[in-house]
Structures are given as C-alpha cells and as structure tokens.
C-alpha cells in the first residue's frame, strides 16, 4: 500500500462539486471511479478543498491509498485516460503515508473572477461572474484590507456544514486586473486592456475558509464597488456575525481553487 498525492485541474461547470453526492456527477466520484478501474477495487480520494457545484480548480490537491504496482508516471497517464477531459491530473507522486490532502493543508489560495464589461467574451463565459456596471476597484480593495488577519467570519458563512469555530486567518486579499488569453476586440493582444471590458481577479489566501466564504466576500465587495454599500462597513459586518448583514453570495462559476500549500 502506498499513498499518492495528486495535483488536479477541473472545469467544474458540469459537476455537482468536488464531493460525491447521491445524484449527479462529482469530481471526487470520477477520480475514484477511474482509480478503482486501475486498482481493481474501491478507492477513496480525499480532496484539499470541497469545492461547490460549478466551482473550478486550477490546483486542487487530493490524496489516496493504492496497491497498484504501476509507477507514478504510468499511473498518471492511465488515470487521465480514464477521466473526462474536464478533469486532468498534472502531477502524481508517492508521498509519506501520513499525508492527507485535507488535514495536512496549511493554506489555500482561491481566485474569484469578474468580467467587468457590457458583454462577456465567449471563451471565458464559464469562468467569470458578469458584472456590467462600473466598479470602483480601489474601494473594493480598501474593504478587502479589513479582512486580512484572524477574524470571526460567521457573517460570511453559508449554511449546511457544521464547524467548531467560525474564526479563520486570512493571509492576503487583493484585487488585480489580468490579461485575457483570447482578448476581446479593442484590446491589445497581450496587454489585456480593452475598451470592451476588463478581467478583475480577487485573490484570497488563508489558512482555512468557511463554506461559501470567498463567494460571500466577493458578493459583498462587488456591492461596495457598485456604491451600494460603504467601503468602511467591513469591520461592522464581521462584528455582527450575522449572514444577513453581508452581501449576496457571488455565483460559483467565478470561483477557482488555485493552490494548496503544505
């Protein structure tokens, strides 16, 4: 028996999320099923982040215990051959037996993407939230600054999961503007700047996250960027510990798990 660590990307559009569900196809189930075909028996895969339905991952990490004699590289190739193209394994290595993708994780980085323009470029439509109105990004950054550090994030917690504590440590939270790999008309081919719109990316790194936390934060920051809320009210929202005081949960398609650190 050996323990393997997997580095995985997925387009979460067509999945019910990471975790295996009663009905619908989950990322975990397609990976477990593919490994089971290779292993010749049931395999349990643990993911670092239990991403929701429609959420993507550019750097999800998972672990599993296997008995197959295949070497790591052959196993990675066999696994990809048994997975849908929406899910790809980019790295597969044998690690120490005490490694557990979820419990060993020390920090995670998520990105939330917004297309801020009249029309969304078709090539990124499944990976962004469309906000057509002008956004005051400097105000959104000022509000995000108040989240850094250890806080009780109960006001930004979705329902449906029980946790011991709603205190979480946020390491960084920042807005940047990214270039598009297929720019819209009006943009320089590499600058990404365009008269048609801009791709705003909110990167949030933390030791841990509550359910829906990044999406609730992104939704609240957008309300601030639209001028519907004051940029200074973040400390008050945090102190309230009341979900109804924060903004709406941003849609899942804009969210992507970028990196897990150990």
Q: Residues 127, 153, 156, 175: which binds a second copy (CB under 8 A)? A: 127
Q: What is the 3-state secondary structure (H, E, C) of the chain?
A: CEEEEEEEEECHHHCCECCCCCCCCCHHHHHHHHHHHHHCCCCCEEECCCCECCCEEEEEEEEEEECCCCCHHHHHHHHHHCCCCCEEEEEEEEECCCCCCCCCCCEEEEEEEEEEECCCCHHHCCCCEECCCCCCHHHHHHHHHCCCEEEECHHHCCCCCCCCCCEEEEEEEEEEEECCCCCCCCCCCCCCCCCCEEEEEEEEEECCCCCCHHHHHHHHHHHHHCCCCCCCCHHHHHHHCCHHHCCCCCCHHHEEEEEEEC
Catalytic status, residue 52: yes
Contact between 10 and a second copy per CB under 8 A? yes
User: Which x/- pattern over 19-58 shows residues binding a second copy (rule: CB under 8 A)?
Assistant: -------------------------------------x-x
Among 1, 96, 185, 244, binds a second copy (CB under 8 A): 185
Which entry of 11, 33, 52, 242 is annotated as an active-site residue?
52
Stretch that binds a second copy, among 44-52, 93-101, 148-156, 183-191 (CB under 8 A): 183-191
Residue number with CB closer to a second copy (45 or 139): 45
Query: Could you say whether residue 94 binds a second copy (CB under 8 A)?
Result: no
Q: Which of 183, 219, 225, 252 binds a second copy (CB under 8 A)?
A: 183
Q: Is 177 in the site for a second copy (CB under 8 A)?
A: no
123 binds a second copy per the rule CB under 8 A: yes
Q: Does 188 bind a second copy (CB under 8 A)?
A: no
Q: Which residues bind a second copy (CB under 8 A)?
A: 7, 9-11, 56, 58-59, 76-77, 80, 85-91, 118-125, 127, 178-186, 189, 196, 199, 256, 258
């Amino acid at each position: 028996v050996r323990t393997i660590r997997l580095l995985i990307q997925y387009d979460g559009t067509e999945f019910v999320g990471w975790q295996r569900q009663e009905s619908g196809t989950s990322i975990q189930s397609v990976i477990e099923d593919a490994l089971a075909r290779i292993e010749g028996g049931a395999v349990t895969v643990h993911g670092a982040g239990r991403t929701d339905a429609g959420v993507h991952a550019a750097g999800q990490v998972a672990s599993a215990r296997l008995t197959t004699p295949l070497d790591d590289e052959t196993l990675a190739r066999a696994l990809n051959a048994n997975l849908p193209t929406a899910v790809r394994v980019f790295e597969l290595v044998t690690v120490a037996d005490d490694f557990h993708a979820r419990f060993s994780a020390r920090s995670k980085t998520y990105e939330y993407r917004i297309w801020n323009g009249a029309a969304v470029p078709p090539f990124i439509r499944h990976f962004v939230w469309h906000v057509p109105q002008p956004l005051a990004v400097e105000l959104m950054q000022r509000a995000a600054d108040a989240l850094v550090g250890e806080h009780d994030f109960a006001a930004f917690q979705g329902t449906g999961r029980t946790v011991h504590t709603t205190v979480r440590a946020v390491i960084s939270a920042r807005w940047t503007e990214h270039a598009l790999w297929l720019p819209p008309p009006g943009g320089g081919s590499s600058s990404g700047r365009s008269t048609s719109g801009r791709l705003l990316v909110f990167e949030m790194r933390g030791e841990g996250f509550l359910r829906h936390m990044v999406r609730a934060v992104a939704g609240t920051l957008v309300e601030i960027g639209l001028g519907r809320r004051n940029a200074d009210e973040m400390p008050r929202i945090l102190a309230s510990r009341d979900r109804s005081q924060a903004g709406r949960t941003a849609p899942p398609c804009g969210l992507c798990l970028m990196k897990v650190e150990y």
